[in-house]
A and B are shown apart, each in its own frame.
Chain A
Amino acid sequence: MSEARADILGRVRRAQRSKLQQHEILEALTELGVAPPAPRDAEDILESFKLRLKLNHASLEACATRAEAVQLISHYVYQRCRTRKVVTGYDPRLAAMPWRDGGVLVRFDAATAEDPLSISYAKLAIAESGSLILFSNRSNPAANNWLVQDHIILLDQQDLVADFEQAWEKIREHQIETGSPRGISFISGPSSTADIKGHLVFGAHGPQRLHIIFIGPEALPP
């Protein structure tokens, strides 16, 4: 269909007003800058993030270390699913956690439809929208985000940023360090739908519950 391509691009070229060179286009774009800063629900980004999570119908627990996080997860998993088994990707941070201390049996793999619960470790999080950013790759297969009923996402305090613009800057840095993933997802709540006459129902296709475990020295009980 290269004929269609040439035809469409030819028509576009004839129709468009500007005949700028590449460097002029990029200069013009730089001049336009990025969007004005978004509002935050609170001055403090952590406060703002917590508030947003709540409005997004996600639940939150906080602790100071990864070892404590294992205990929280162990409890949550057993309470919710009466199981000790969870699935996670090959994230080195997850691989290094003391799962046995919490009696959690971890399988490092992509989730299947039989897995009730998965654990991911966020690359970043955004206070503006209460979003957790996950890369879809070996560290976190995309299926783990959407095939399960319960999704737990861990987040380190240092990875929380204020807004989308800061997030993209960091995402670029991550991509230089660890390569570009197939997918980048901003997860901001459990799967939901309002397609039946506007009634909000959770667990439309993906997780019914989204649980965040926040790890950081400033972690306060939510």
Chain B
Amino acid sequence: MKQDSLQFLNKAHDHMARPELRQHMDRLGVTLPLAREQAIAQLGNFEQLREHVKNIKNHTLENLDYYLTRYEEQVIQRGGKVHWARNADEFNGIVLDICKKHDAQRVGKGKSMVTEETDLTAHLQHHGLEVTETDLGEYIIQLAEEPPSHIVSPAFHKSVNDIRELFLEKHDLGERELADPDSLVQEARQILRAKFLAADVGIIGANALIAEDGRSMLVTNEGNGDLLSTLPKVHIVCATIDKVLPRPEDATALLRLLVRSATAAVMSAYTSFYCGPRGEVDLDGPEEFHVVLLDNRRSDILGSQYEEMLRCMRCGACLNHCPIYIGAGGHAYGWVYPGPMGSVLTPLLTGLEQSHTLPNACTACGRCAEVCPAAIPLPDLLRDLRAEERERGLSPLHWRLGLKLHAWLARLPRLYQVLTGLIVRLLHLCGRRRGALRSLLLSNGWTQVRDFPAPQGKTFKQQWKQRQREQSRE
């Protein structure tokens, strides 16, 4: 996917200027978090479980070479093949080779962030293959030729009417109403059913890889991934090296957190564990089974100060709780991963030069870290990335100068107090009549959409001192 993360501010601005998205933002930022909160409360031992999963994940990362080789052994023993790719090009090349070897014409794809990362679909299409996304959300944005806006619900930004118009335009099925979500889903089912039956290769992602038995865990509600694991003659699982876990119990412990955090449900409709091609007496299943493992700089993150990011289970909770993501929309982030997790991952996977705007897309409110089921200290990692950005001179000159000035002033407490005291008095006088200011020097962006509450006339320190004095007098 072509990256344009440096356009973050412009795109976020455009997104916020669209009032028709208000309801959509409320659903993201209010309804989903409330539902999640309930599901987590029902769980009863969220903190304990989160700690357990964190320890398991850390243990696995600390011994990653052992668990990866163990996983590989198991897959081979069950008649599957494991391929290793250092980067996107190698990854796409491997998948294309497998398709070519089988003279494949049609590929069915399940939801997989890894393949978004490598832009696999475009690569296969470029080489003449017909690739169909089968997750309904992914299918919708494939028709619309748009990137996903959310890691769990890729077409969340599309209204029912958007989708209706899209189907009417792209499906050659004559005149019809398609007035409600039910009929839209029915139509998609009919179209995609033919694709499942015709696919030569099924490509799916994995929510976890299990070292003990070589299986990969696949979590869906639609069942599209299961059809792709069953009907086509070649089955390819795409995953990254950080996805491995020791035992099946660890995968289902993670599942408890993942489903609640992602959709507020207790369980997804289908959770399947696959490994290997069909057996001799089986009546269905693929003839060949492949796993393609992508590194793409994850081995650089391992052992670095950002290692905790490798615990991410892609639940999307940090997105739904981030005021910046909700305001700016997923597309503003300009690459595959949006929201807080994306603001950490994108710089690590693509380089700060391409994306140093993203770690700044943070109010340090801390909600993401609070809800993250992998206990990733996202605000801390974002702060470290901002520090790196400054050290490497990537932030705009006026920001760096401003920060320098502030740092200098902060080291002179007397002067700092005098100056802030003056400014606060001035603002107080300016806004005395209304209690708020309509415009503010250097802060137009803020006052364009709301008033600035006028200070009460004294700084915190002044008020504190006054209070202390009064109390000692009493």
A residues sitting closer than 8 Å to B (CB atoms) are 1, 4-5, 7-9, 11-18, 20, 22, 25, 28-29, 32-36, 38-39, 52, 55-56, 89, 109-110, 113, 129-131, 136-138, 141-143, 145-147, 164-165, 167-168, 171, 180, 182-199, 201, 203-207
**Given A138-B281, A193-B221, residue A186 in contact with residue B270 (CB < 8 A):** yes
| Assembled-state Cα–Cα distance A219/B7 (Å) | 62
CB distance from B73 to the nearest CB of A (A): 12
| Assembled-state Cα–Cα distance A183/B59 (Å) | 27
Residues in A neighbouring B182, C-beta threshold 8 A: 201
Complex interface residues of chain B between 44 and 79 (CB less than 8 A to chain A): 44-45, 48-49, 52-53, 55-56, 59, 61-66, 68-69, 78
B17 within 8 A of A: no
B452 within 8 A of A: no
Q: Is A35 within 8 A of B52, CB to CB?
A: yes
Identify 8 residue pairs between A and B in the complex whose beta-carbon atoms are under 8 Å apart, listed by A's number.
Answer: A12-B241, A28-B59, A131-B271, A137-B279, A168-B247, A193-B221, A204-B221, A205-B134
Q: Is B277 within 8 A of A191, CB to CB?
A: no
| Assembled-state Cα–Cα distance A11/B278 (Å) | 34
B276 within 8 A of A: yes
Residues in B neighbouring A38, C-beta threshold 8 A: 43, 256
Give the contacting residue for A205; candidates B49, B227, B267, B295; CB below 8 A.
B227
| Assembled-state Cα–Cα distance A121/B68 (Å) | 34
Residues in B neighbouring A138, C-beta threshold 8 A: 279, 281-283
Give the contacting residue for B136; candidates A5, A141, A196, A207; CB below 8 A.
A196
Q: Is B45 within 8 A of A36, CB to CB?
A: yes
CB distance from A149 to the nearest CB of B (A): 10
Complex interface residues of chain B between 257 and 289 (CB less than 8 A to chain A): 263, 266-279, 281-285
Q: Is A18 within 8 A of B62, CB to CB?
A: yes
Residues in A neighbouring B84, C-beta threshold 8 A: 1, 4-5, 8
Q: Is A9 within 8 A of B62, CB to CB?
A: no
Residues in B neighbouring A203, C-beta threshold 8 A: 185-186, 189
Q: What is the total number of residues of chain B having a CB less than 8 Å from a CB of chain A?
A: 99
Give the contacting residue for B295; candidates A8, A113, A189; CB below 8 A.
A8
CB distance from A201 to the nearest CB of B (A): 4
B351 within 8 A of A: no
Q: Is B227 within 8 A of A147, CB to CB?
A: yes
B422 within 8 A of A: no
B residues sitting closer than 8 Å to A (CB atoms) are 27, 31, 42-45, 48-49, 52-53, 55-56, 59, 61-66, 68-69, 78, 83-86, 90, 94, 134-137, 140, 153-156, 158-160, 163, 181-182, 184-186, 188-189, 192-193, 196-197, 213, 215, 221-224, 226-227, 229-231, 241, 246-249, 252-253, 255-256, 263, 266-279, 281-285, 293, 295, 299-300, 302-304
Give the contacting residue for B49; candidates A28, A36, A109, A201; CB below 8 A.
A36
Give the contacting residue for B303; candidates A16, A28, A198; CB below 8 A.
A16
Residues in A neighbouring B295, C-beta threshold 8 A: 8, 11
Q: Is B269 within 8 A of A190, CB to CB?
A: yes
| Assembled-state Cα–Cα distance A34/B56 (Å) | 9
CB distance from A49 to the nearest CB of B (A): 12
Q: Is A17 within 8 A of B135, CB to CB?
A: no
**Given A9-B68, A16-B303, A204-B136, residue A193 in contact with residue B185 (CB < 8 A):** yes
List the 8 closest A-B pairs by CB distance, nearest first: A206-B223, A15-B303, A35-B253, A11-B299, A195-B137, A164-B252, A129-B267, A199-B181
Give the contacting residue for B273; candidates A18, A113, A185, A206; CB below 8 A.
A185
